[in-house]
Amino acid sequence: MASNPVSGTPSSSNYLRGDGTWNTPVGTTYTATAPISISGGNVISLSTPLSIANGGTGLTAFGGTNTVLYTSAANTLASVAASSAAGQFLQTTTSGAAPTWLTTLGVANGDTGANTFTTNGLLFGNGTSVIGVTAQGTAGTVLHGNGGVPSFSAVSLTADVTGTLPVANGGSGTATAFTQGSVVFAGASGTYSQKNANFFWDNTNNRLGIGTVTPGSDLDVKGTLRLSGSTSGYVGFAPPAVAGSTTYTLPSADGTSGQALTTNGSGVLIWTTLPSILVSASRTSAYTPAVAYATLVYNTAAVNAGAAYNTGTGIFTAPATGIYQIIISNMYSSTNTVNNSLNARIVVNGSTETEVAQWLAPYSTGTSYATLNAVTIVSMTSGQTANITTGNLQNTMTPMVGTGQHNLKIIRLN
């Protein structure tokens, strides 16, 4: 290229001189050396690419559209083909190497080396290689290092946990293995504890043992069973030290007032009405027996349950259906010298149930005594009546009405 400013006006018939001027050739012949050649019509052309030293590129073509030039050696240009995807950039893969189009920036250049990541995965280092990513963890899993590539998995209480997890952190607070059948409870400081010999669950038969590891029923208590009152006191049940093997079956319903539980001899308990004295009455005032039968009224009652006996009329009314025992014991005296007698009847619901008689033999020098006794057991329904009558007197029988001399007792047997 000229070092001086170009002067003159160019045209199709002139040429540029080395001194920077345009001149018209006049019969002059020019010669050129390679790579410049002059052909017919004074056309100047290049036979080879103009080198870099001569101000050219040394290339006959630049490759495809959007190629990039770079120096592949001193004074030598080369081209990199156009990028194959949007977002690519030029980078040399090794020191002094030709540049290439890359999509992902490498780890050595401060990037991840990856162009996609698993959804919800966690990144982890991989030396100078592409950063790794875990798979997404499932519910309840935690990240395990594994001594290599980490991954999500469930916690292993044997492989992942060491030491004793305290109660405050959701553990048991103890490293002691519980004995089979132990019922676990909170001990000191909330630590899980056991008392196998005293608190035992038989999981095979679904039985709870208190004080025994061989419960024989749903609940088996060795020793005293104690039931505490809601405010104070308690009721306890204790078997003998050497107990038998009896199981008692309770009645299906409650009994009536005054009944007691009795056994049938096979462990079945039933409600039973125990014998109870309903009436204990005495005759405390004088009366005169007669031939005609009349009700004997026992006018004073020491026991009269439910006022079943009328001390004014001498009539007993059965308070409930059951078996009753009626007992009379009346004492008489006589001072004459003839035979004397008197009869007594136990009358139930208007009919004589039992009749007895007592004789007093003559006694010439004083007073003779005799006791008229009668006993009967009778079935009565609720509301039926009973009373005592005396009659069929022969001669004289004087009633003794002092303490304990004229007595009536009525006992309910069931």
Statement: residue 190 has pLDDT above 80: yes
Q: Higher model confidence: residue 82 or residue 389?
A: 389
DSSP line for 83-94: PSSTT-EEEESS
Confidence (pLDDT) at 13: 56
Q: Which of 162-176, 244-258, 319-333 has the lowest mean pLDDT?
A: 162-176
Q: pLDDT tier at 294 (50, 70, 90 boundaries)?
A: very high
Q: What average pLDDT does the segment 290-295 reach?
A: 98
Q: Return d(Cα 90, Cα 76) in angstroms, integer.
A: 19
At 336-364, the pLDDT tens digits run 889 999 999 999 999 999 999 999 887 77
Summarised one tens digit per residue, pLDDT across range 149-187 is 888 888 887 777 777 878 888 788 888 888 999 999 989
Burial category of 206 from C-beta neighbours within 10 Å (exposed 0-12, middle 13-18, buried 19 and up)? exposed
**Total residue count of the chain as it appears in this document:** 414
Residue 107: is it exposed, middle or buried by C-beta count within 10 angstroms (0-12/13-18/19+)? Answer: middle
Per-domain residue ranges of the chain:
1-43, 177-245, 276-412
Task: Say what the pLDDT of residue 2 is.
Answer: 42
Q: Which residues contact 97 (CB under 8 A, 6 or more apart)?
A: none
pLDDT of residue 274: 86
Q: How far apart are CA 223 and CA 339, in angstroms?
A: 70
Question: How far is it, in rounded angstroms, from Cα 85 to Cα 387?
Answer: 128
Q: Name the CATH topology of 276-412.
A: Jelly Rolls (2.60.120)
- Angstrom distance (rounded) from CA 309 to CA 4: 165
Q: Is the pLDDT of residue 248 over 80?
A: yes
- Span 63-84, mean pLDDT? 82
Q: What is the pLDDT of residues 104-155, one digit of tens each?
A: 777 777 777 777 888 988 888 888 788 888 889 899 898 888 878 888 888 8
Mean pLDDT of the chain: 86
Q: What is the pTM of this model?
A: 0.48
HSE-CB of 97 using CA atoms within 13 angstroms: 9
**What CA–CA distances, in Å, run from 287 to 332, 347, 368?**
11, 20, 19
